[in-house]
A and B are shown apart, each in its own frame.
Chain A
């Protein structure tokens, strides 16, 4: 044999050695549980043939198999610290470990977690002006390492989050707090500088003072990964980057040993949703997170898999630019109107021309409902009737607005219209995120529907990073250089910052305010702006709801956003999983202590 063949053989051998070495080095030797072999549901393993047949007398000594639930996420959390994480998937994992004072149930109501009750004006825990909020902490709560949980932890959380160098992503609300006093370990008294409407959403996570004290730069903490510590039903055991995260039950949990019902939750990172769907079909995973409506039909007939769905706060909509798209971030849309879209009759015609129900039935398989308003669920839900599909009315409105097709090419042109130059065709660019099949199909239907009433829509999709780019990177959405955009945004359980950010006249991003706000369509409506100001300045929920209703009605009238359909929160579970309950407001692990496997 020649040298080369020998070299090749050596190379191959080396390869195998390195590979095997890679195998063993990549797996940290984890602590072995003392009890009998952990028989986790390894999908691959053939039922282990016992080497010796156990004698009947020995058999009863074997403890029950631990319950392991495998939860498939297609995103990997970046960090688990809720104050610096930027991905939804991070909270999905951290919620199993970290708790807050109160949380939100699937119906959109707050319920106490570490607090004894939810503070309101009625129970006297919130002052009439809303500036003083008191939480009573449940007795005898301990962190999973056994240290007591006290008011000091809450105070520390506030202090860290508002420290400039802490790296906290989101400080809004916390920066409105003037002081926190801890007269006794179980009473938290919070004093706000000025009224902050979403006060209940603060402290949805609390940091452990004793375990993280030292550096005020949160990004350097061990807490972000393997050192995560909370009061919740599970504790983090290990995190194999890119592969899985193991959580085992917290023996210091307040309801232990009744809860949590499962012994172990393994979060598996499955980067492709298609593969996730195959794996839940084969039973290799028990729960699959976050699917889309189009995935529903293929599982409806499968008795092994349950489709859990519930309408969520997100709504797919068209954003209709009211300002001149050739200008860079104009602060005066009224004097620089969009030549075509600034005329209300054109926007109305577009809405009349869209058969929203057809989109829901054909593209979303009837798994959701048509969009009507920004606040479609929750305590602040707006009451707005669905728009009418009426192409004849649309054509009438366009005729009236001075758009007629005189050259016979199927597209109307301006003949005596309000803002555009004579002869300008009624041609609008629609943009969305590229590579999203549902959106592309929706756009094609819209193009057809618009063609029917004499409007030409043309599609020019861009990658989502470009569409959602920042002010400083010059993103066209922020700078107002578009006709029509299509995407989904979701309001939060407290809609104030979302509503104000998108619809208040002061939220138009301009040079002067350094791109602040999300009113990309540059909609100016005094009545809506006033209603949003009022809604943000009172702790009275009925009053706030009434103000949001006013804002929603103005939106429905002026159509700066045209709502197409509501998005549903959809998760799959194997049929033997019990206790899973979709929560459109937060993380699906909100009630993980109730999860069980039959």
Chain B
């Protein structure tokens, strides 16, 4: 086992180098680049442009730039953003906690809801519950996530008012036009603005809509997974054996069916985890959430390659690590699998 892990870790090194080379070159191939923001400014002379290009190191050939970047990264120097001139790690450090807060809560809620639903659906296949759950799973998958987020804002922020505000209850602010009305739920941000020390309650209020949006999307897939896996398991011989031993239905389901159905799902969870660090661009954009998705998008748009490379490399490391973890967890959960 230790050998296996060691081998995997050693393989990871050339893989990471390869990833960094490919990504670095792809970024440089993309049109635009850090200079695009300056091109339209009629006050800039070509001398200014040349001077700025030098400053960003863009006047050197690409392999020279890559080599410089690689030499620094090996000793742990991630460089500075081209756009904000702040250290790359500081930029990521600002955003990562926000992203984890949103993504982990949404992910846990997704699992806590969809796994029992999937299990129940499978055990009561073709029941009314199963049909309804299947319907919503497909709806959740099919709805454009961007649109769904906007609809959430329109309903809970624009239309519905806070019942505790002067105008009570179900007031449609479009028609009632009350100046004192407060929206039922905030339409974005992480906490109320202008409040120095937001309470936990305020933070939770701000998370409701973005978490709903993310969970709606994730639940569809996990419900289907859990249902499919359970269905596969419950017709196995060992389940029949368990039943014929006279075990209670509860024992059969929880001890034998659930555990075996969960094994592949846990692997999928492990593979999904690195994605949580990357954030969710659409959700963050709609709910003005200052997370990694938007940071990544902005740096891609502005050709901010030091920051872009930083984010990509961190994600690459996470993906490799969680892949290994998924393989190990699989061996742990399923004794038939061995790595030697």
The interface of chain A, by Cβ under 8 A from chain B, is: 1-2, 4-5, 8, 11-12, 15-16, 18-23, 25-27, 29-33, 38, 40-47, 68, 70, 76, 78-79, 84, 86-87, 164, 167, 169-173, 219-220, 224-225, 240-244, 246, 264, 266, 268-272, 274-275, 278-279, 281-284, 303-304, 463-466, 468-473, 475, 489, 492, 497-498, 501-502, 513-516, 518, 576
Residues of A within 8 A of B198 (CB): 27
Q: A463 near B32 (CB under 8 angstroms)?
A: yes
Residues of A within 8 A of B36 (CB): 465, 468-470
Q: Tell me the bound Cα distance from A247 to B152 in angstroms.
A: 30
Given known contacts A2-B259, A44-B182, A8 and B84 CB-to-CB distance under 8 angstroms? no
Interface 1/0 per residue, B147-186 and A, CB below 8 Å: 0001001100110001011100000011001010111011
Q: Specify which of B32, B43, B194 is in contact with A264 (CB 8 Å cutoff).
A: B194
Instruction: For B205, give the chain A residue with the smallest CB separation.
Output: A44
Residues of B within 8 A of A19 (CB): 100-101, 104-105
Q: B290 near A15 (CB under 8 angstroms)?
A: no
Q: Specify which of B37, B45, B190 is in contact with A86 (CB 8 Å cutoff).
A: B37
Q: B84 near A22 (CB under 8 angstroms)?
A: no
Q: A241 near B83 (CB under 8 angstroms)?
A: no
5 A–B contact pairs at CB < 8 A? Answer: A240-B290, A242-B290, A304-B179, A465-B301, A489-B40
Residues of B within 8 A of A270 (CB): 188, 288
Interface 1/0 per residue, B222-235 and A, CB below 8 Å: 00000000000000
Residues of A within 8 A of B295 (CB): 242
Residues of B within 8 A of A47 (CB): 164-166, 182
Residues of B within 8 A of A243 (CB): 189-190, 288, 290
Expressed in whole angstroms, the minimum distance between the Cβ of B299 and any Cβ of chain A is 11
Q: Tell me the bound Cα distance from A27 to B194 in angstroms.
A: 12
How many residues of chain B are within 8 Å of chain A by beta carbon?
98
Q: A76 near B55 (CB under 8 angstroms)?
A: no
Q: Tell me the bound Cα distance from A84 to B46 in angstroms.
A: 17
Kindly list 11 other residue pairs between chains A and B, CB separation below 8 angstroms, not including A31-B196, A498-B42: A23-B101, A25-B97, A26-B190, A29-B197, A33-B196, A44-B162, A170-B41, A172-B44, A220-B85, A463-B32, A465-B303
Instruction: For B300, give the chain A residue with the smallest CB separation.
Output: A465
Q: Check if B79 is an interface residue, CB within 8 A of chain A.
A: no
Q: Which of A2, A20, A44 has the most CB of B within 10 A?
A: A44
Q: Specify which of A27, A171, A240 is in contact with B48 (CB 8 Å cutoff).
A: A171
Q: Check if B38 is an interface residue, CB within 8 A of chain A.
A: yes
Given known contacts A22-B97, A241-B91, A502 and B42 CB-to-CB distance under 8 angstroms? yes
Expressed in whole angstroms, the minimum distance between the Cβ of B331 and any Cβ of chain A is 14
Given known contacts A26-B101, A43-B183, A241-B290, A16 and B108 CB-to-CB distance under 8 angstroms? yes
Q: Tell me the bound Cα distance from A11 to B181 in angstroms.
A: 40
Expressed in whole angstroms, the minimum distance between the Cβ of B202 and any Cβ of chain A is 6
Q: Tell me the bound Cα distance from A284 to B187 in angstroms.
A: 8
Q: A15 near B108 (CB under 8 angstroms)?
A: yes
Q: A278 near B35 (CB under 8 angstroms)?
A: no
Q: Check if B203 is an interface residue, CB within 8 A of chain A.
A: yes
Q: Tell me the bound Cα distance from A282 to B183 in angstroms.
A: 6
Residues of A within 8 A of B289 (CB): 242
Q: Tell me the bound Cα distance from A282 to B198 in angstroms.
A: 21
Residues of A within 8 A of B298 (CB): 76
Given known contacts A42-B202, A43-B192, A278-B150, A242 and B111 CB-to-CB distance under 8 angstroms? no
Q: Check if B306 is an interface residue, CB within 8 A of chain A.
A: no
Residues of A within 8 A of B174 (CB): 281
Expressed in whole angstroms, the minimum distance between the Cβ of A279 and any Cβ of chain B is 5
Q: Specify which of A20, A40, A240 is in contact with B195 (CB 8 Å cutoff).
A: A40
Expressed in whole angstroms, the minimum distance between the Cβ of B21 and any Cβ of chain A is 21
Q: A22 near B100 (CB under 8 angstroms)?
A: yes
Q: B202 near A45 (CB under 8 angstroms)?
A: yes
Q: B101 near A516 (CB under 8 angstroms)?
A: no
Q: Tell me the bound Cα distance from A293 to B107 in angstroms.
A: 40
Q: Tell me the bound Cα distance from A219 to B56 in angstroms.
A: 12
Expressed in whole angstroms, the minimum distance between the Cβ of A91 and any Cβ of chain B is 12
